[in-house]
Amino acid sequence: MPSDPAALERAQRATDRIKEMILRSAGPAAAEKEGGAKAAKPAAPAPRVVPRSRVAQPSTAPHSSPASPVRNAGRPAAPSSSSASGALPWNADAPLTKEVILFDFEQSTEGFSVHEPGKWTVVKGTRMMLSPQAATGKHALLVSSPQESWLGMDFPDWLDFSALQRVSWWMLSAQGRTGNLAIKSGSRWDWCELVPVAVETRDDGFVRYEAALKEGGPLCPQLDTEDIRGMHWHVSAGDTVLLDTLRGL
């Protein structure tokens, strides 16, 4: 009987991730032997439930991606030490279940940073803080960027979103803009840009957006929902945005 291409692709992804974990745990020597080049720094330990106040270390740098033609915005590249992921409020050892809160910004802005498109360096002159003006709870993440940028974080290890159909978040933009959501996935940190849909608007200006986790289209050539590596929102030059309550649905 002929093989199922989809099943073979899933099996190959699983094999690649297992191999990656083995190389990470074996240390730089094994990575150098495998790749024939200078090894990268060891990655973070396996993800687990940790308190929100603890800061994790960045994972091994992924392959760089070419520039994106969309709005002249560059694709997210390798995470730097300044973009180390903060504590994650879920158990990443298993697929995330529906109706999970990914970030609520009630206590911290850990792990979040603002990056310049293309170069993927941290934007200077950016203001980032917790704001009492929130869509839910007591705080939201307030960011003001002097130039076009990407706001978000790279995770310390992959996360499994395969049980989720979409993601939602609250956002308030001083310029009334809708920032696309960029998701990086897979061992090569492939780029996928999702265009959100406004589903609810409040009197104070907050808008709740949703984006479907699906493959296809010129902005999202592929998305491996079993291997999510980072999430970033597009911020226009000179805009001030409030981001709050990111959920998986």
Topology (CATH) of 44-248: Jelly Rolls (2.60.120)
Three-state DSSP class for residue 34:
helix
Indicate the domain borders of the chain.
1-42, 44-248
What pLDDT, on the 0 to 100 scale, is given for residue 216? 66
CA gap 233, 218 in Å, rounded = 18
The length of the chain is 249
CB 197 within 8 A of CB 209: yes
pLDDT at 125: 87
d(CA 142, CA 65): 28
In this prediction, residues 24-46 reach a mean pLDDT of 45
Tell me which amino acid residue 78 is. Answer: A
Q: In what order do the strands lie in the sheet with 228-235?
A: 113-115, 149-159, 228-235, 181-185, 190-194
**What are the residue ranges of helices labelled H in the chain?**
5-26, 28-35
State pLDDT tens for residues 89-100: 444 455 566 678
175-180-181 Cα angle (round to 5): 130
135-182 tens-digit pLDDT: 999 999 999 999 999 999 998 888 888 888 999 999 999 999 998 999
Q: How far apart are CA 174 and CA 205, in angstroms?
A: 9
Question: pLDDT (tens digit, 9 = 90+) per residue, 116-132?
Answer: 988 888 898 889 999 99
